[in-house]
Structure 1
Amino acid sequence: MYPTLEFAAISLSLIFFIVDPLGNIPVFLAMTQGKSPDEKRKTAFRASLVTFLILLVFAFVGEWILKLLRVTISSFQIAGGILIFIIALSMLQAQRSRAKSTPQEEHEKLEGEDVAIFPLAIPMLGGPAAITTVMVLINLSTSALQRGLVILAIFLTSLSCYLILAASVQLMRGLGQTGINILTRLMGLLLAVISVQFVIDGIKAAFLQTPP
């Protein structure tokens, strides 16, 4: 459906924007407050690794899940595009979307010993929105190369999560909350454009499908 280079760009931008490691810096710092720099890096590594594994699993089983539920690719693409658009609207307001995680989920383990897996990796980084995005992309892929590009995008995003969260103190000091909000809004704008195109393409595909 999409040329390979265009598909690669869409996959990387979508997954990175949805996971949104930059927007998660303030929450990460709050959750790791009082920890040493080494402990922050270890938390960032575990959270990024778990995020990678979660998204990788759904990259392999997502198509099977849709077939099991008898959901067409076009209908899932439309639903995924709407979900991504909702998140994009929240990013345009520099706010966290409840479609990714609720305030209760974010603070449930704020006082716990290890927040890397929950709530940082799940649901903040590798939550329902990121999983849905990966499943949409895998089902839109038309070749083994494009599926490999989705997996590569998952890896690069997870690596970016680690690098960004591990350097969160320095980035927060350099960019400030205002700088992070500006970047979040720009990513939200691009995400909104991509999500609308997803919905349009999904509707077109649905009308072109022949009844069984």
Structure 2
Amino acid sequence: MEYGFWGALMLMVLMADPLGNIPITLACLKTVPNNRRPIVLIRECLIAMVTLLLAMFFGRSFLESIGLTDAALSIGGSVIVMLMAIRMVFPTKDGVFGETPGGEPLIVPLAIPALAGPSTLATIMMLAASDPSRMPEWGLIVVITMVVSCVTLLAAEWLQKKLGDKVTLAIERLTGLILAMMATQMALSGIASYVKGLGLGA
């Protein structure tokens, strides 16, 4: 499946799920002093961005070294995205990413897995594998995704108050439905790629 810039950007932003991460952000920062919260959020977004860029540049080489194909990446990524979509549509009391430790977050759970989790890592590796010549474009998408996430999470308390729990939940479920459809398309593309590799395609 070939992605244009805006399609890939939308997919990455949906994967990062900044609105869905508002509850986990508020929970993680409730014991952090107000004047330190922006610093913590910016730091976590930078860590997530670096992690995604490393996956973008070196993820394919790593996958090739252990014998994984583009089809496996696409199908495996679709499974992860589908699982995330199911938890967004049918949320549990622990949220999309399960229980999180208390105290000031460092890497876990905001940077990883909330922002740079299995779904976003699989997605950026899939994009990079689909067209390695567009690395600058994929890198820009990672940066924009993290900027959008950072701005959204910095405004988490304000958004939670303005939107309310019901609207936030509705948006998260709608995002989950969109992700489920994207996961299905990723799986179909992976299967088509695998069949073509076997020489069985039309």
Structures share fold, TM-score greater than 0.5: yes
Which aligned runs of 4 or more in structure 1 are off by greater than 4 angstroms? none
2:179 corresponds to which residue?
Answer: 191
1:70 shift after superposition: 1.2
2:29 corresponds to which residue?
Answer: 32
Once residues 79 and 13 of structure 1 are traced to their aligned partners in structure 2, the CA distance between those partners, rounded to angstroms, is 20
Secondary structure (helix, strand or coil) at the match of 2:68 reads coil
Structure 1: state its 5+ residue gaps: none
Once residues 24 and 196 of structure 2 are traced to their aligned partners in structure 1, the CA distance between those partners, rounded to angstroms, is 44
Secondary structure (helix, strand or coil) at the match of 2:19 reads coil
1:139 corresponds to which residue?
Answer: 129
1:65 corresponds to which residue?
Answer: 62
How many pairs are equivalent? Answer: 197
2:81 corresponds to which residue?
Answer: 84
Secondary structure (helix, strand or coil) at the match of 2:107 reads helix
> After superposition, what is the alpha-carbon deviation per residue over 1:82-130, rounded to whole angstroms, capped at 9, x for unaligned?
1111111111124534xxx331xx1x2x1x3x31422211222212222
Secondary structure (helix, strand or coil) at the match of 1:115 reads coil
1:163 shift after superposition: 0.6
- Is the Cα contact below 8 Å between 1:16 and 1:157 reproduced in 2? yes
Equivalences for 1:1-212 in 2 at 5 Å? Answer: 1-2=1-2, 6-95=3-92, 96-97=95-96, 101-103=97-99, 106=100, 108=101, 110=102, 112=103, 114-141=104-131, 144-145=133-134, 147-210=135-198
- Is the Cα contact below 8 Å between 1:51 and 1:126 reproduced in 2? yes
- Is the Cα contact below 8 Å between 2:80 and 2:118 reproduced in 1? no
- Identity of counterpart residues, as a percentage? 27
Once residues 191 and 126 of structure 1 are traced to their aligned partners in structure 2, the CA distance between those partners, rounded to angstroms, is 16
- Letter aligned with residue 170 of structure 2: I
Once residues 177 and 185 of structure 2 are traced to their aligned partners in structure 1, the CA distance between those partners, rounded to angstroms, is 13
TM-score, scaled relative to structure 1: 0.86
- Is the Cα contact below 8 Å between 2:22 and 2:153 reproduced in 1? yes
Secondary structure (helix, strand or coil) at the match of 1:62 reads helix
Once residues 111 and 156 of structure 2 are traced to their aligned partners in structure 1, the CA distance between those partners, rounded to angstroms, is 16
> After superposition, what is the alpha-carbon deviation per residue over 1:26-49, rounded to whole angstroms, capped at 9, x for unaligned?
121122114343311111101111
Secondary structure (helix, strand or coil) at the match of 1:22 reads coil
